[in-house]
Amino acid sequence: MDNLDSKSGLATHTLSMWQALAQGLGTNGPAAVTALFFVGIAGAVGSSMTLVIVLAFIIYCGMTLVTYEWSKEVASAYSWAAFHRKAFGDRGKFLSFYGGISYYYYYLLGYTGFAMLGLTAFLYALDPSLAAAYPWIWIPLTIIIIGETTVLNFFGVKLSLKYVLYTGLAEFIFLIGTSIALIVIAGPHNSYVPFTAAAVHFNYTDIAIEMILGIATFGGLNSVVPVAEETKNPKKNIPLALGILAGLIGAVIIISSYAQSVVYGVTNMFQYANLSDPGIYVYTKYLGLAVAAVFVLFIINSFNSSGVAFETSTVRTSYAYARDKILFPKVFTSINKHKVPGNLVIFTGLLSITIAIVSGLILGPLTASLFLIISNSIFSFSNHAIAGIGLGVCHRRKGTLRIIQHLIIPWAVAIALVVAIVYVVYPAPAPPLNYASYISGIYFVFIIVLYFYYRAKKPDMLEEVGKFTL
């Protein structure tokens, strides 16, 4: 184990189960999700938003089961690359290479799209007069916030995740408490309708199209995995963290979506999406200005915590490749006194600033945020599908196959995710969001070209892809 710890280079055996859980809680950012995703989903399907979120949660539970099972086998910053390699062995070199490089894209765009641009878009909606008077103000805001989250990452994973844990649990308690209050206030307006497709006249194609955003509302939950090398007893604590986290996030997002629907009015939810900040409006009208102000602070902190956690995952995934001399230069393997790859943290911050500003200038902060989220979701879905199929392959080879948890559920999830990917492409969202899948396609081609470059020029490096695990 000492040799493995030395090769890891990270602060192994540092994080408790709760601190590892904080990585997923922070990445998901429940309060931020209610501010950003509820608007998009309600705008398309009205009060059936709750149905979309419930169905998405069922799928995400299946995705988490796959991650849960793999986390009992593998503890590696390589994350999905390590899952694919253990499942398919040498025949899975490309899948392993694809898993890591595509998940790097997922985490990087999640950081810039959801956490950073999502926050600036929220602040713009909070005060439209600010956006009108200073249309450029989001640029320095983005730079400042990326700088702050990068500093937190630079000074060590334990410090950053303590902050995420304490604020994240306070956020969870606040959202549950206020949602129950809204449901009580709704009184006789409580209804089973939000759990049906009545708002879209039972057109399940509309429901299916919105599943891309529905599943994304739970995105980040499985990002506990990249900090496995830094977690105490990871093959026990990472699966435990995933199980607890799924329950927490599922409860808070579902109850929040239902509460806002019934208190605002199930027949009014299409109009809800036209409000500049509908969640803040609902809290102000029904719970008072003071509670709404606290909600605003939690939303801002939620985006910020998500940024810290997303950047942590981005750095860990890219570090695993740099450690094996793939894609990233050797200088990125240098570990600072806080036991993190400091040079890589700084590079990630600078690259994220570039992506955020360029995409924001082209599309505007809100559209750019949704664009990047849709683009990166394809890679999350595809990797979970591959990992689910690989789970059965691995356990069949080991003689430990269990039909339901290693075959039936993972294959059902894989099929559902393939359908979700299809709906990203056709019928695609309205322009310019439809171009998000084209950008994903270009990145996929880049991965293929890069793989064959290494296969032709540096085949020995591919031997190590995804192999390392504690």
Distance CA 55, CA 371 (A): 23
Model pLDDT for residues 294-331, shown as the tens digit of each residue: 999 999 999 999 999 999 999 999 999 999 888 898 89
Q: Dihedrals φ, ψ of 446, to 5°?
A: -60, -45
Cβ-based neighbours of 331, under 8 Å, separated by 6 or more: 343
Q: Dihedrals φ, ψ of 231, to 5°?
A: -100, 140
Helices 234-264 and 157-186 cross at an angle (nearest 10°) of: 30
pLDDT at 366: 86
Averages of pLDDT over runs of 10 residues in the chain (470 residues) are 73 92 94 89 94 95 95 93 93 93 94 91 82 86 93 90 92 97 97 96 88 87 93 96 96 97 95 89 96 96 93 94 90 92 96 96 91 90 94 94 94 90 73 87 95 92 89
State the DSSP code for 403.
I
- In this structure, is the dihedral angle defined by the CA atoms of residues 445, 355, 114 and 438, taken in order, positive or negative? negative
Per-residue exposure over 79-100, b if at least 16 CB sit within 10 Å of its own CB, e if not: bbbbbbbbbbeeebbbbbbbbb
Q: What's this model's pTM, rounded to 2 decimal places?
A: 0.92
Model pLDDT for residues 102-145, shown as the tens digit of each residue: 999 999 999 999 999 999 888 888 887 877 888 888 999 899 99
Distance CA 329, CA 448 (A): 20
DSSP string, 112-141: IIIIIIHHHHHHHHH-HHHHHH-TTTHHHH
∠ CA 415-258-281, nearest 5°, is 125
Among the listed residues 151, 419, 182, 140, the one whose alpha carbon sits nearest the alpha carbon of residue 279: 182
